């Protein structure tokens, strides 16, 4: 008999679904029944990506369910304000209906909701239904700490009540935490404009109240990675770096099918020779920046594996891309999606050119891969500060006055990262520490056991 029935509810974005799916596999391994709840749109994407692996059966004992996100079929789900506003208003009621449907289908009673902090309006519904709540934060603990201190930042005059920077300066929330520009807050884009106005900042302002409904807060991090943040918030349980299984074979809820050529291509490359380039599921590059990035990789003259989603660069000349592919055919490979954990674990990967979402950052850390940081928005700037200033396991690109990272800048920074033995050594040491944390009596392993004990009550 299962230890209990857990509903798992991520925010509808790839960088949230992946760590939630990894956590779900671990919970199933510990004897829980898990129902994984996606929005209807993401549910279809996950099922479509799973088809080559045998569909939902590839997820083993994880049950998939879906609820509407509140948007119409033609609505733009990359409009962050629209998506977040719809989720906050409609998904609590939709989740309540799902629980009723599960009960009518004679599924075991739901004991716990493991919910995304960004979906915390659903926590009130869970409590009303007698379901206990565990809050799972997919970004860094430092990011959550900043969001939990919004009222303090407003009182100190660093930001206003709309989330805009009032003073252009660098601040540090607590000793040991990364320093951050007020124009690079975790709810801002690269221009210092709050993302998803006004929905995201309105939700962030409620985090303290909504998060208090949870019995526990867990996050995908580890003690030694964020000493200052966990000193400030010792009740947050770090259980990372997360992974679904040691062989990295279990599906983790990708929205796009993986290109299986990646690993075979890497197998034919020398150790620590390949530049891996990936910007996640949401970043958009204009054609000029795309071409500079492409030509920078060509200039670097190193083998590269580059993930280019179908929607990564609207308006890019297909003829230009075809010609570029032809020029670099002997050096690089471009794919639409890949199993990132398998790629980063491969002996051939030398560095990771990344947008710095926390999930990608933790995957790089766990595999000892040096970083070249190219943040796009939200908490990616904070994660860049961890990489470049706290852990010192990588460098960052520097855009020009026009906001463009030139091909010469990319080539120069790739060469600096690859040629810096100290960066490589620090990345290796951080990898060793992260792996100790998730084994045996390691801190993240012990925290996960505490979490399992609580969920078993």
The verdict on 209 and 288 lying in the same domain is no
Q: Which helix (H) or strand (E) holds 287?
A: helix 287-300
The verdict on 388 and 421 lying in the same domain is yes
The verdict on 419 and 353 lying in the same domain is yes
pLDDT at 137 over 80: yes
The span from the CA of 143 to the CA of 164, in Å, is 17
The verdict on 240 and 294 lying in the same domain is no
| DSSP notation for 93-121 | HHHHHHHHHHHHTTPPPEEEEEEEGGGTH
pLDDT of 282 reads 85
DSSP 240: -
Min mean pLDDT across 66-70, 270-274, 314-318, 453-457 is at 314-318
What pLDDT digit, counting tens, does each position of 369-403 carry? 999 999 988 999 999 999 999 999 999 999 999 99
What pLDDT digit, counting tens, does each position of 89-128 carry? 999 999 999 999 999 999 999 999 999 999 999 999 999 9
Owning domain of residue 152:
5-247
CATH of the domain at 392: 3.40.50.2000
SS3 194: strand
Q: Which residues lie closer than 8 Å to 211 by C-beta, 6 or more apart?
A: 117, 120, 123, 135, 148, 217
Instruction: Give Cα 338 to chain centroid, integer Å.
Output: 15
Whether residue 337 is contained in a domain is answered as yes
What pLDDT digit, counting tens, does each position of 165-178 carry? 999 999 999 999 99
Structure-token pair, residue 417: 């990262």
Q: At which of 198, 213, 247 does a domain end?
A: 247
The verdict on 238 and 339 lying in the same domain is no
pLDDT at 2 over 80: no
- Give yes or no for a contact between 373 and 388, defined as CB atoms under 8 angstroms apart: yes
Whether residue 253 is contained in a domain is answered as no
347, 378, 346, 41: which is closest to 184 by C-alpha? Answer: 378
Provide the number of structural domains found in the chain: 2
The verdict on 55 and 88 lying in the same domain is yes
Whether residue 36 is contained in a domain is answered as yes
- Give yes or no for a contact between 404 and 338, defined as CB atoms under 8 angstroms apart: no
SS3 of 1-67: the string is CCCCEEEEECCCCHHHHHHHHHHHHHHHHCCCEEEEEEEHHHHHHHHHHHHHHCHHHHHCCEEEEEE
| DSSP notation for 304-317 | EEEE--TTSSTT--
pLDDT of 33 reads 95
- Give yes or no for a contact between 326 and 298, defined as CB atoms under 8 angstroms apart: no
SS3 403: coil
Whether residue 175 is contained in a domain is answered as yes
Whether residue 332 is contained in a domain is answered as yes
DSSP 56: G
pLDDT of 93 reads 96
Instruction: Give Cα 103 to chain centroid, integer Å.
Output: 32
Paired residues of 335 in beta bridges: 307
235, 215, 12, 2: which is closest to 127 by C-alpha? Answer: 215
Supply the pTM of this predicted model.
Answer: 0.95
The verdict on 187 and 151 lying in the same domain is yes
**Cα dist from 424 to 83, 278, 381, whole Å:** 40, 20, 22
pLDDT at 1 over 80: no
- Give yes or no for a contact between 114 and 62, defined as CB atoms under 8 angstroms apart: no
The verdict on 186 and 159 lying in the same domain is yes
What pLDDT digit, counting tens, does each position of 429-447 carry? 999 999 999 999 999 999 9
CA-based R_g, the chain, Å: 21
Whether residue 449 is contained in a domain is answered as no
What pLDDT digit, counting tens, does each position of 176-225 carry? 999 999 999 999 988 888 887 788 898 899 999 988 999 999 999 999 99
What pLDDT digit, counting tens, does each position of 11-64 carry? 999 999 999 999 999 999 999 999 999 999 999 999 999 988 777 888 888 999
Give percent of the chain with pLDDT exceeding 90: 83
Averaged pLDDT score across all residues of the chain? 94
**Per residue in 313-323, is it b (16+ CB within 10 Å) or e — as a string?**
beebeeeebee
The verdict on 292 and 233 lying in the same domain is no
Whether residue 55 is contained in a domain is answered as yes
| DSSP notation for 128-143 | HTT-EEEEEE-S-HHH
CA angle 185, 394, 168 (to 5 degrees): 25
Express the helix, strand and coil content of the chain in percent, nearest 5 each. 45, 15, 40
The span from the CA of 388 to the CA of 335, in Å, is 28
- Give yes or no for a contact between 185 and 165, defined as CB atoms under 8 angstroms apart: yes
Instruction: Give Cα 305 to chain centroid, integer Å.
Output: 20
The verdict on 197 and 282 lying in the same domain is no
SS3 213: coil
The verdict on 278 and 414 lying in the same domain is yes
The span from the CA of 194 to the CA of 215, in Å, is 30
Q: At which of 202, 220, 247 does a domain end?
A: 247
pLDDT of 3 reads 87
The span from the CA of 396 to the CA of 378, in Å, is 16
Whether residue 255 is contained in a domain is answered as no
What pLDDT digit, counting tens, does each position of 65-93 carry? 999 999 988 888 888 888 888 999 999 99
- Give yes or no for a contact between 456 and 112, defined as CB atoms under 8 angstroms apart: no
318, 235, 305: which is closest to 275 by C-alpha? Answer: 305
pLDDT of 123 reads 96
The verdict on 208 and 234 lying in the same domain is yes
pLDDT of 73 reads 86
């Amino acid at each position: 008999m299962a230890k209990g029935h857990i509903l798992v509810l991520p925010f509808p974005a790839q960088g949230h679904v992946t760590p939630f799916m990894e956590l779900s596999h671990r919970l199933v391994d510990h004897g829980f029944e898990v129902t994984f709840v996606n929005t209807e749109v993401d549910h279809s994407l996950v099922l479509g990506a799973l088809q080559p692996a045998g569909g939902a059966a590839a997820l083993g004992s994880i049950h998939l369910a879906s609820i509407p996100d509140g948007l119409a079929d033609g609505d733009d789900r990359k409009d962050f304000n629209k998506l977040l506003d719809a989720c906050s208003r409609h998904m609590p009621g939709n989740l309540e209906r799902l629980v009723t449907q599960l009960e009518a289908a004679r599924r075991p009673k739901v004991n716990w909701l493991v919910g995304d902090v960004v979906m915390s309006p659903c926590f009130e519904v869970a409590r009303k239904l007698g379901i206990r709540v565990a809050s799972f934060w997919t970004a860094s603990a430092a990011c959550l700490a900043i969001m939990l201190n919004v009222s303090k930042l407003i009182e100190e005059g660093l930001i206003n009540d709309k989330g805009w920077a009032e003073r252009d300066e660098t601040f540090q929330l607590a000793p040991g935490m990364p320093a951050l520009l007020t124009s690079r807050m975790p709810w801002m884009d690269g221009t210092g404009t709050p993302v998803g106005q006004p929905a995201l900042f309105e939700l962030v302002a409620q985090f303290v109240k909504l998060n208090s409904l949870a019995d526990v807060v867990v996050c995908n991090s580890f003690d030694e990675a964020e000493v200052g943040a966990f000193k400030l918030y010792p009740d947050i349980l770090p259980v990372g770096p997360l992974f679904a299984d040691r062989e990295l074979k279990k599906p983790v809820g990708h929205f796009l099918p993986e290109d299986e050529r990646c690993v075979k291509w890497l197998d034919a490359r020398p150790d620590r020779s390949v530049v891996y380039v990936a910007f996640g599921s949401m970043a958009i590059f204009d054609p000029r920046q795309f071409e500079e990035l492409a030509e920078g990789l060509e200039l670097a003259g190193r083998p590269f594996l580059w993930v280019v989603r179908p929607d990564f660069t609207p308006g890019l000349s297909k003829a230009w891309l075809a010609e570029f592919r032809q020029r670099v055919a002997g050096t690089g490979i471009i794919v639409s999606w890949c199993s990132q954990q398998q790629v980063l674990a491969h002996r051939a990967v030398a560095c990771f050119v990344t947008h710095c979402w926390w999930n990608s950052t933790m995957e790089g850390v766990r595999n000892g891969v040096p970083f070249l940081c190219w943040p796009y928005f939200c908490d990616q700037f904070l994660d860049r500060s961890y990489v470049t200033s706290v852990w010192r396991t990588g460098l960052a690109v520097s855009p020009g006055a026009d906001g463009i990272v030139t091909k010469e800048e990319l080539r120069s920074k790739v060469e600096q990262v690859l040629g810096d033995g100290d960066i490589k050594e620090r990345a290796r040491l951080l990898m060793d520490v992260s792996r100790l944390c998730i084994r045996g009596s390691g801190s993240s392993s012990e925290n996960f056991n505490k979490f399992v004990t609580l969920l078993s009550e």
